[in-house]
Amino acid sequence: MDKSRNFILFGFLALIVSLVAASLAYVSYKHSIEVEESSLNDVKWDVHFTNLECSDKTDNVVENIAPTINDGTIINDYSITFTDINDYIEYTFDVVNNGTFNAKLVDIKLNNPKCSSMTNCDVSYELYEDDIKLENEIESIIEARTGKKTYKLVLKNNNKDLVEVNNLGVSLTYIQDGNYVTKNN
| 71/66 Cα distance (integer angstroms) | 16
Q: Where exactly are the structural domains of the chain?
A: 1-42, 48-180
Which CATH architecture is the domain 48-180 placed in? Answer: Sandwich (2.60)
- Alpha-carbon distances, residue 81 vs 53, 62, 74, 91, 139 (angstroms): 17, 5, 22, 15, 33
Identify the bridge partners of residue 177 per DSSP, sorted by sequence position.
102
Cα dihedral 14/16/18/19 (nearest 10): 160
The number of beta carbons lying within 10 Å of the beta carbon of residue 85 is 13
- Judge contact between 106 and 141, C-beta under 8 A: no
pLDDT in tens, the chain (185 residues): 577 777 777 777 887 878 878 877 777 776 565 555 545 567 888 999 999 999 999 998 999 999 999 888 899 879 999 988 999 999 999 999 998 888 888 888 888 888 887 777 888 889 898 888 887 666 678 888 778 889 899 999 988 878 899 889 898 888 888 766 655 44
Q: Which phi-psi region, left, alpha or beta, contains residue 86 (left: φ > 0; alpha: ψ -120 to 50)?
A: left
